[in-house]
């Protein structure tokens, strides 16, 4: 059993390095991923270890970067694209949504696009409205794309290796605040994959089920620990892959707890967590609920620059705690 406590940046870099060693057709391209080591230092020393033919610095041209990756994938390569901020994928959405996601189906399955697009998302760094978004629902709404949102280093490593293996395009969303924080659990040695489309039960309880994504898993975990000390036990579920979405653990947990709260950083309006609510409402487990489903999400506004406003725009630990207490104590 490994006892290595890595940061998410280290775990992602290790996964890419393993894939580079396993498959000569894997390469990385993006802005400043080479000598500079990535905007957030994720690629690190890979340029010096693997050379400029496998770690490619590109111009500032997201449409061209993703277009080149799609073409390379169709030609038998397995590109890993790094877009500096998830917000900049807007420049490349034609290649992502109309090309990468569609080609396999439009050609009757004759070709695949084994491409991974990695990109940091989320608020908390004072980067303001154009560099702080959570665009999970954009990608999850596009048929043909798989969407992965890791919440910790161990999952990030295993999920990224599985994403690189996948014959389909995968969007891999990494929260920038998690890059330098070690996870709660050790990161295994070796090349073990975590299958896409399998949710993780982070902890089990009997009073409330919380489904959270990305950094909200970590914030919710802190709340679960505090409530446990007071005799309130909570099941915390991390979908890990939001498309395809594994709802079975959610159904099973709600049948035990009778209460459901969903938490995301992005705005509630048209957010991913609404899909969790919709699927729960249409399931046989819906009848197990003894309380209305609680939805906790960011405000429907662009992320402000001012630190106090940025913090107020998205759920914080105290907000999750207050909502959890409300649903448990008011609905018995």
Judging by beta carbons within 10 Å of its beta carbon (0-12, 13-18, 19+), is residue 188 exposed, middle or buried?
middle
The catalytic site residues sit at: 62, 131
Reduce the DSSP state of residue 202 to 3 states and report it: strand
Q: How far apart are alpha carbons 246 and 218 in whole angstroms? A: 19
Q: How far apart are alpha carbons 144 and 96 in whole angstroms? A: 10
DSSP for residue 328 = H
Q: What are phi and psi of 93, to 5 degrees?
A: -65, -25
Cβ-contact 172, 194 below 8 angstroms: no
Q: Which spans in 23-85 are helix H?
A: 46-50, 62-74
Cα of 315 vs its chain's centroid, Å: 17
Reduce the DSSP state of residue 134 to 3 states and report it: coil
Q: Which two tokens stand for residue 283?
A: 């399931």
Cβ-contact 135, 106 below 8 angstroms: no
Cβ-contact 232, 328 below 8 angstroms: yes
H or E segment at 119?
A: strand 116-121
Q: How far apart are alpha carbons 50 and 125 in whole angstroms? A: 31
Cβ-contact 214, 41 below 8 angstroms: no
Q: What are phi and psi of 217, to 5 degrees?
A: -65, -45
CA–CA distances in Å: residue 135 to residues 29, 122, 216, 281:
21, 9, 15, 24
């Amino acid at each position: 059993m490994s006892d290595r406590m890595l940061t998410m940046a280290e775990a992602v870099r290790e996964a890419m390095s393993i894939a580079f060693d396993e498959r000569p057709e894997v390469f990385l391209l993006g802005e400043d991923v080479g000598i500079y080591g990535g905007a957030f230092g994720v690629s690190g020393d890979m340029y010096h270890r693997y050379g400029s033919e496998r770690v490619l610095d590109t111009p500032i041209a997201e449409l061209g970067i993703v277009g080149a990756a799609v073409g390379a994938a169709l030609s038998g390569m397995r590109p890993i694209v790094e877009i500096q901020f998830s917000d900049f994928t807007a420049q490349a959405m034609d290649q992502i949504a109309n090309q990468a996601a569609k080609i396999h189906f439009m050609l009757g399955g004759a070709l695949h696009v084994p491409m991974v697009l990695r990109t940091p998302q989320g608020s908390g760094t004072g980067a303001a409205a154009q560099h702080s978004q959570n665009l999970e629902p954009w990608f999850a709404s596009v048929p043909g794309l798989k969407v992965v949102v890791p919440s910790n280093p161990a999952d990030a490593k295993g999920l990224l290796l599985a994403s690189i293996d996948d014959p389909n395009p995968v969007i891999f969303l990494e929260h920038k605040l998690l890059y330098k924080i070690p996870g709660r659990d050790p990161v295994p040695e070796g090349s073990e994959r975590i299958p896409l489309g399998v949710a993780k039960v982070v902890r089990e309880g009997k009073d409330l089920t919380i489904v959270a994504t990305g950094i909200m898993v970590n914030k919710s975990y802190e709340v679960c620990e505090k409530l446990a000390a007071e005799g309130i036990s909570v099941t915390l579920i991390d979908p890990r892959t939001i498309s395809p979405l594994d709802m079975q653990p959610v159904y099973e947990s709600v049948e035990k707890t009778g209460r459901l709260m969903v938490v995301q950083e992005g705005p509630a309006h048209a957010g991913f967590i609404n899909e969790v609510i919709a699927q729960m409402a249409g399931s046989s487990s819906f009848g197990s609920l003894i309380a209305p489903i609680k939805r906790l999400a960011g405000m429907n506004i662009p992320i402000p620059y001012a630190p106090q406003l940025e913090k107020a725009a998205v759920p914080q630990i105290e907000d999750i705690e207050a909502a959890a207490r409300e649903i448990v104590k008011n609905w018995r």
